Amino acid sequence: MEVQRISTLKAILQEIRNTVDEQLNLQLELNKCERIIQRLNSFSVACEECNQHFTLLEDDILQLKDKLGDLEDSDLKHHKQTLETISSHLQGKHKLVSSGHYLSISMCFGPSIGLLFGMLIFDNIGFWLPIGMGIGIIIGAYLDADAGKKGLVL
């Protein structure tokens, strides 16, 4: 990927960021866009799909910039879809995870396992449910921190 192309795209993102209000800024997930650009750039050497996705995102961001004054719902939707498509490629193919990914899984599993223990084995839900939840949170937070250290968080 040419350096010029990336810095141009980042400059456009910055321009959009300076123009839109806080709410639209969040809606457009501009910070995420920037992280995705970096990821696509680093994978594009080896992955043809990342190359294509970069062009896709580039078109999308240029379009956003052109229509900045009067963005319609369909533009926002298109942008969101583009980000989702690319994210799922990065997560599926390149094993990246979204931030808080493991915590959200363990928040769900921890209490279930606690419940199972509490009901079936120890007959004491009030005791095991919070323990399951607590252990789930500890494991989830650990895995998230670990993924962060390995640079795997999107």
Binding-site ranges for Zn ion (CB under 5 A): 43, 47, 49-50, 93
The two tokens of residue 92 are: 């599926």
- Our CB check for Zn ion shows the closer of 44 and 63 to be 44
Neighbours of 137 (CB within 10 A): 15
Contact call for residues 120 and 70 (beta carbons, < 8 A): no
Q: Which residues on neighbouring strands pair with residue 153, listed in sequence order?
A: 97
CB of 104 to Zn ion, least distance (A): 24
- Our CB check for Zn ion shows the closer of 43 and 128 to be 43
CA distance 111 to 126: 11
CB of 58 to Zn ion, least distance (A): 15
CB of 95 to Zn ion, least distance (A): 11
- Our CB check for Zn ion shows the closer of 9 and 36 to be 36
CA distance 120 to 23: 48
- Our CB check for Zn ion shows the closer of 49 and 75 to be 49
The two tokens of residue 141 are: 């937070």
CB of 65 to Zn ion, least distance (A): 25
